[in-house]
A and B are shown apart, each in its own frame.
Chain A
Amino acid sequence: MELLNNLMLGLATALTLKNLAYCFAGTLIGTLIGVLPGLGPVATLAMLLPFTYALEPTSALIMLAGIYYGAQYGGSTTAILVNLPGEASSVVTCLDGYQMARRGRAGAALGIAAIGSFFAGSVATLLIAAFALPLVELAFRFGPAEYFSLMVLGLIGAVVLASGSLIKAIAMIVLGLLLGLVGTDVNSGVARFAFDIPELTDGIGFVAVAMGVFAFAEIVANVEKHEHREVFTDKVKDLLPTRADVKDAAPAIARGTALGSLLGILPGGGALLASFASYSLEKKIAGAKATPPFGQGNIRGVAGPESANNAGAQTSFIPMLTLGIPPNAVMALMIGAMTIHNIQPGPQVMSSNPALFWGLIASMWVGNLMLVVLNLPLIGIWVQLLKVPYKWLYPAILSFCCIGAYSINNNPFDVYVTAIFGAIGYLFYKLDCEPAPLILGFILGPMMEENLRRAMLLSRGDPTVFFTRPLSLTLLLMAAALVVLVALPAIKSRREEAFQEGD
């Protein structure tokens, strides 16, 4: 049983005292920031990434993964108690979770969310372990042409499954690819678009870009709004759901897990799409005779999406770990983190760093267990946190971001770059341009150029190489099919409908 051996190696790595401590710190900090409204998982990761540079790569990635699913989970607590999604993927949790809280059932909603998430996380961890080997074997048959086509598919998939205007998202990807090219060209040694600024010859730091367009732009956008919060803090009790609750929610948890796991693997999928899809599915299955009706505190409306978003969050690690292709912005940041630790993302990670690879996977299960332990008994502390007003929070977020940006290279230049991208991000926000595709393009830019160059060199300048190699052709056809599918009027309206559920 190779799988079992691998998991044992993973557990041996994840269960060392040091890694347990980093996993715990990650989930704790992640939950803390996830609970606070106004900072999504991408911004959270960007803010905290610089502080993990000093750690060993394995510990750093374990901690970052912990921050990610911690933030994901913390977001649902906020959704249930305040009716404010801590992040986009918990938008649907607001619908029924908050209604349950208003009826004095906040405890049951939080409890079922924790149980569902833990179940989904455990299943997804096993799935990652099972899928890793075959995918890595497939990836080893990839040449530069296949990699280029795979990245095209990944990028197209990422925007097709996301909400908003398709063509604008594609433009944001291209813009990201271009920004990723700033800096010294590896082949010729020419410093491109550096404008004689020495710091730019190393390229624009991805942490500065992510912090700017996510964290800073979010802050400016939030500061100009007047905030209104109604918190149900006083009567969170009876965290253990009743037997009837569990019986009611169990099938929803199972369906949510299956749906979330599947959608997480797809490019552009991950937690957000998973939770929306699961909510629609549960609503359809329950139909009109659901008691209480959906939107008025039905426990399935919490159990399904919460399981789905956790499963999706975890299985989105599969393409990132096995192929080196980020399916969403969070995974793009994880790839950036690996690169900083001198680990070239791709199929070779599994053979060259087996302890890191399996350790990270095993740590996710450990981290999920920690989440349950952290969240159920300590819910009172998280509730208190919700009382901190935003006007106190954002100076703190800014302080941490600034120190983080500075510490990347111990150079104030990165702080200025972050500020510039904050202004750009604010412009994107006002123009309804989603920043997530930009980050994906930014990370993939140099890799795409490299593979394009190599493919064209090998084919002696013949561009048909992308269509004559069967694997490459298949990948490109899949990308084309996705675009055509989404452009079809019937699907187009369904897609818009699916994302409007939360409004």
Chain B
Amino acid sequence: MRIKHQKDFWSGLMFLAIGLGFAGFAQQYELGTAQRMGPAYFPTALGGLLAILGLIIAIKGLARGERGADIERFHFGPLAVVLGAVSLFGFLLRPAGLVAALLVLIGVSAYASHEFRVREVIPLAAFLVVLVLAVFIWGLGMVVPVWPAFMQR
């Protein structure tokens, strides 16, 4: 059987799975009664509701009259590069300091663009680092290590 509306079908399944997940995990907490609701009461109800909504969406996606647009291709490359750069920033910020973390973030994330040019990224990175230092460190007085740990007294 051909799935009529790909986007609806898969988003329905996603909602169904998340709803069941929340309702399932909530069972380790106390349910309580309608009068005195425990911590599991509202999440169980909402999780159930989300699962039902997801099921309806998925079924409608299977059977709907007109054919919907198929899901566009996932570009995992840019996604991984951009979010990887962000995670690296978080990972490097404390041990390596703001300047190094920013240089990595800008260098790696700029690589995600198909117009990546090294000689454009270097001045951009330099400009952004100076801007960030000026605004956040000297301007707003943000407390964050600027230089790597070994360079600090």
Spell out A's residues near B (CB within 8 Å). Answer: 51, 54, 165, 167-168, 170-171, 174-175, 177-178, 181, 185, 187-188, 190, 192-193, 216, 219-220, 223-224, 226, 389-392, 394-396, 398-403, 406-407, 410, 412-413, 415-416, 418-419, 422-423, 426-427, 430-433, 448-449, 452-453, 456-457, 459-461, 463
Among B30, B50, B116, point to the contact of A171 (Cβ < 8 A): B50
User: 20 A-B residue contacts at CB 8 Å?
Assistant: A167-B57, A171-B15, A175-B15, A178-B19, A188-B29, A188-B30, A192-B26, A220-B75, A391-B110, A392-B120, A395-B106, A399-B105, A403-B136, A413-B90, A415-B89, A418-B86, A422-B82, A430-B74, A431-B7, A453-B37
- List 8 extra interface pairs beyond A51-B136, A407-B144, CB under 8 A: A167-B53, A167-B57, A171-B57, A396-B128, A403-B98, A410-B144, A418-B86, A431-B11
Closest to B139 in A: A51
Contacts of B116 in A (CB 8 A): 391
B82 A412 Cβ-Cβ under 8 A: no
A412/B93 contact (C-beta < 8 A), A190-B29, A223-B113, A399-B132 known? yes
A412/B109 contact (C-beta < 8 A), A167-B56, A174-B46 known? no
In whole angstroms, what is the CA distance A136 to B65 when docked? 47
Contacts of A430 in B (CB 8 A): 7, 71-72, 74
In whole angstroms, what is the CA distance A418 to B53 when docked? 27
A185/B46 contact (C-beta < 8 A), A168-B57, A432-B11, A433-B11 known? no
Closest to A441 in B: B46
A402/B35 contact (C-beta < 8 A), A178-B43, A223-B112 known? no
B91 A398 Cβ-Cβ under 8 A: no
Nearest Cβ on chain B to A404's Cβ, whole angstroms: 9
Nearest Cβ on chain B to A189's Cβ, whole angstroms: 9
Main DSSP-derived SS at the B contact region? helix
Among B39, B102, B143, point to the contact of A190 (Cβ < 8 A): B39
Contacts of A413 in B (CB 8 A): 90
Contacts of A418 in B (CB 8 A): 86
In whole angstroms, what is the CA distance A461 to B82 when docked? 49
In whole angstroms, what is the CA distance A290 to B124 when docked? 48
B54 A219 Cβ-Cβ under 8 A: no
Closest to A431 in B: B11
In whole angstroms, what is the CA distance A202 to B78 when docked? 31
B49 A174 Cβ-Cβ under 8 A: yes
Contacts of B72 in A (CB 8 A): 430
Among A51, A168, A216, A415, point to the contact of B140 (Cβ < 8 A): A51
In whole angstroms, what is the CA distance A391 to B11 when docked? 31
- In the complex, which range does the number of interface residues on chain B fall in? 35 or more
Contacts of A449 in B (CB 8 A): 37, 42
Query: CB of B2 within 8 A of chain A?
Result: no
In whole angstroms, what is the CA distance A54 to B124 when docked? 29
Contacts of B47 in A (CB 8 A): 178
B29 A175 Cβ-Cβ under 8 A: no
Contacts of A456 in B (CB 8 A): 34-35, 37
B109 A394 Cβ-Cβ under 8 A: yes
Contacts of B18 in A (CB 8 A): 175, 178
Nearest Cβ on chain B to A53's Cβ, whole angstroms: 10
Contacts of A389 in B (CB 8 A): 115
A-B pairs with lowest CB-CB distance, top 10: A461-B35, A415-B90, A412-B90, A461-B34, A431-B11, A185-B39, A224-B75, A391-B113, A171-B53, A190-B39
A412 B94 Cβ-Cβ under 8 A: yes
A174 B79 Cβ-Cβ under 8 A: no
In whole angstroms, what is the CA distance A398 to B110 when docked? 10
In whole angstroms, what is the CA distance A449 to B45 when docked? 11
In whole angstroms, what is the CA distance A239 to B13 when docked? 53
Interface string of B72-92 (1 = CB under 8 A from A): 101100110011011101110
Query: CB of B114 within 8 A of chain A?
Result: yes
A398/B86 contact (C-beta < 8 A), A175-B50, A223-B113, A431-B10 known? yes
B144 A406 Cβ-Cβ under 8 A: yes
In whole angstroms, what is the CA distance A216 to B84 when docked? 12
Contacts of A219 in B (CB 8 A): 82
Among B10, B42, B56, B105, point to the contact of A395 (Cβ < 8 A): B105
In whole angstroms, what is the CA distance A219 to B112 when docked? 10
In whole angstroms, what is the CA distance A135 to B128 when docked? 46
Contacts of A51 in B (CB 8 A): 136, 140
A188 B26 Cβ-Cβ under 8 A: no
Among B14, B35, B98, B128, point to the contact of A457 (Cβ < 8 A): B35
In whole angstroms, what is the CA distance A188 to B74 when docked? 42
Nearest Cβ on chain A to B87's Cβ, whole angstroms: 5
Contacts of B26 in A (CB 8 A): 192-193
A395 B46 Cβ-Cβ under 8 A: no
In whole angstroms, what is the CA distance A174 to B22 when docked? 11
Among A188, A220, A410, point to the contact of B78 (Cβ < 8 A): A220
Among A177, A391, A395, A398, point to the contact of B115 (Cβ < 8 A): A391
A407/B142 contact (C-beta < 8 A), A402-B89, A402-B90 known? yes
In whole angstroms, what is the CA distance A406 to B94 when docked? 10
B79 A398 Cβ-Cβ under 8 A: no
A220/B79 contact (C-beta < 8 A), A190-B29, A403-B132 known? yes
In whole angstroms, what is the CA distance A389 to B19 when docked? 41
B83 A423 Cβ-Cβ under 8 A: yes
